[in-house]
A and B are shown apart, each in its own frame.
Chain A
Amino acid sequence: MIATNNLPATQQSTVSVAIKKMLGRLPAYPATQAFVTAFNLTVWKKLKDLDWDGLYGKSFSVVIKDLPMAMYFSVTEKGLRALKTTQPDVVFTATFMDLIRLALRLEDPDALFFNRRLLIEGNTDIGLRVKNMLDGVEFETLLESFPGMFGKAVMFARKKLQHRRAQ
């Protein structure tokens, strides 16, 4: 048996310290509202027809552990709804950059889990279902929901990060 790849448990974030500091200073609820609003105006259009039955009313928390910040929201028929605080059904914890890389489909969640860079607490079945449902939507489809320039910027960022991984 060969032990390899001693990746650190937490990946060094490549986002500039300044941006992280700025995000870290934002109060959690307005930041969640901003995220939820952006989400509902863009990708929700492509996601609303998925099989959300059984997930409406469930609450989620995304903990960005290196900022640190915790966002709370629930799923409704009209999209996500920001919550001030709650006992969430499921909590995802990862660094800012790992969450970005997951969203850009550059990272495998199971591999992050093995390397202790992603934690899913609470109702695992709901967590897995959301993860698998989102994996089932093609990235290009999600991208179509962004306004032209922003979509191009996302693709540009993705290519940059993909290139960095390959090096």
Chain B
Amino acid sequence: MIPIMDEVFNARNDNYYHLRRACVDMGQGDLCLARFTRHSVFSGVAMAGTLLELICPAGSLPALKAAIDHGADGVYLGLKDNTNARNFSGLNFDNKSLAEGIRYAHNKHRKVLMALNTYPQPATLARWQQAVDTAASAGVDAIILADPGLMAYANKTHPELRLHLSVQGSATNYEAINFYHEHFGIQRAVIPRVLSLPQVENVIRNTPVEIELFGFGGLCVMVEGRCLLSSYACGDSPNTFGACSPGHAVRWQQTPKGMETRLNGVLIDRYADNEKAGYPTLCKGRFEVQGETYYALEEPTSLNTLELLPEMHRLGIAAIKIEGRQRSPAYVAQVTQVWRAAIDAVKNNAEHFRAQPGWLAQLDKVSEGSMHTLGAYYRPWK
């Protein structure tokens, strides 16, 4: 019986009609449907009419409310510890604010997703598992995971809980995404910011898993989940500590030569008075390489894919994610407002969609480096 169920479940097209027919044809209707409901109804039916969801960051309750009030379809948030990749002092949710946030969002029929996207270590595994339990009992709409062990735990312990694959999971091809889907019931994957749109399309055509793309916000060197750069300076890996530049290691100081940024004492940049600053991460530092000082790894800039929205819509992207749980409610309100207007415009008339100058100006105002890029999505030579 199990192999038949698996055969049904593993069908590449998680289409409600086809799966239901397959269940009935095999005489396993009820059993199959039970499992199918657990994994697929949300994506196959409930989500069908809600493509291009707007998923916004919430580092605090006011940020969550700002996102909801300005038109987010859902928010993502984390707990006040290193179980998520925005582990900063004073940020994130405790049980009380989580309950209030979920109540606020659900009253307005919006979703709350919880990021549990760092990697547990043997000695601390219980903290991550407890965070999964907390998410399930609080009633979040999905959890966003990177670690397969945690996926297995969530899948087994809370079979009703919807699972998303975090960008930290670093799955860039459909085989990897399908693996997570088949083994752990992953229903949505956030794609690392390394693929061009044609490559994203190739993924979409070969997986039943919903695809979520980053639309706006800070960029990193894009080896998410595998980047160890900051541990060279701080001794803390972003994948286990939950921050690339832990606050305790960061020092800014105005000197006669300019504003210096140090990470655990290591000078990573010095800004002249008229220069824009970036986040204090090693990847965005300027280093002397063969006698020349420059952004040897990455220039501080923000991803902004507004002008690619019609193509994303055509591809059937399930959701657009806005980066920035470390940002203030003011940022969340401003960015959510612009993206809500843009997504509505593209849904109304994709052919005549144009990114309005006012939207771009508003987004550039809050961008790192006050610059934006289309990132890897747009590579016309591909």
Measured CA separation A109–B88 after assembly (Å): 15
**Could you give, for residues 114-142 of chain A, a 1 whenever the CB lies within 8 Å of some chain B CB and a 0 otherwise?**
11100111101111111111011111000
Q: Are A135 and B62 in contact (CB under 8 A)?
A: yes
B126-164 Cβ-contact flags toward A at 8 Å (1 or 0): 000000000000000000000000000000000000000
Contacts of B373 in A (CB 8 A): 1-2
Known A128-B88, A132-B88, A136-B90; contact A114-B278, beta-carbon cutoff 8 A: yes
Whether B370 contacts A135 by the Cβ 8 Å rule is: no
A-B contact count (CB 8 A): 127
A133 to B97, alpha carbons, bound, how many Å?
A: 13
Contact A125 B247 (CB under 8 A): yes
Q: Is the interface of B mostly helix, strand, loop or mixed?
A: mixed
Alpha-carbon distance A93/B366, docked complex (angstroms): 19
A75 → B minimal CB distance (Å): 13
Given contacts A5-B364, A138-B62, A139-B62, are A115 and B370 in contact (CB under 8 A)? yes
A91 CB to closest chain B CB (Å) equals: 9
Stretch at the interface among A28-36, A38-46, A100-108, A146-154: A100-108
**Which chain B residues border A9 with CB–CB below 8 Å?**
273-274
Chain A 3-42: CB-based contact to B (< 8 A → 1; otherwise 0): 1111101000000000000000000000000000000000
Contact check, B276 vs A108: say whether CB atoms are below 8 A apart.
no
- What range describes how many residues of A lie at the interface? 35 or more
Which label, helix, strand, loop or mixed, suits the secondary structure of the A interface? mixed
**B369 lies within 8 A of A4 (CB):** no
Q: Which residues on the B side are within 8 Å of A137 (C-beta)?
A: 62
Name the residue in B276, B278, B330 with the highest tally of chain A Cβ atoms < 10 Å from its Cβ.
B330
**Interface positions of A from 46 to 63, Cβ below 8 Å from B:** 51
Pair A116/B60 contact, Cβ less than 8 Å? no
Select one of A3, A114, A126, A138 contacting B61, CB under 8 A.
Answer: A138
- State in angstroms the CA–CA spacing of A122 and B366 once bound together: 24
- Bound Cα distance A125, B60 (Å): 17
Interface residues of B in 334-359 (CB under 8 A from A): 334
Query: What is the CB-to-nearest-CB distance from B126 to chain A, in angstroms, rounded to a whole number?
Result: 23
Question: Which of B59, B91, B259, B372 has a CB less than 8 Å from the CB of A4?
Answer: B372
B297 within 8 A of A: no
Q: Are A119 and B259 in contact (CB under 8 A)?
A: yes
Interface string of B243-267 (1 = CB under 8 A from A): 0001110111110000100000000
A128 CA / B90 CA spacing, docked (Å): 7
A-B contact pairs, 20 of them (CB 8 A): A1-B301, A1-B372, A2-B371, A4-B361, A4-B370, A108-B327, A110-B368, A114-B278, A119-B259, A121-B253, A124-B247, A124-B250, A125-B246, A129-B90, A132-B59, A132-B60, A135-B63, A136-B62, A137-B62, A138-B62
| Chain B residues within 8 Å of A, Cβ to Cβ | 59-63, 65, 88-91, 97, 246-248, 250-254, 259, 271, 273-278, 299-301, 326-331, 334, 360-361, 364-373
- A-B pairs, top 9 by smallest CB distance, nearest first, are A132-B90, A125-B247, A129-B89, A108-B331, A129-B90, A136-B60, A124-B250, A5-B364, A133-B90
Known: A115-B276, A121-B251, A125-B89. 6 other contacts (CB 8 A): A109-B328, A111-B366, A114-B277, A116-B271, A124-B251, A129-B247
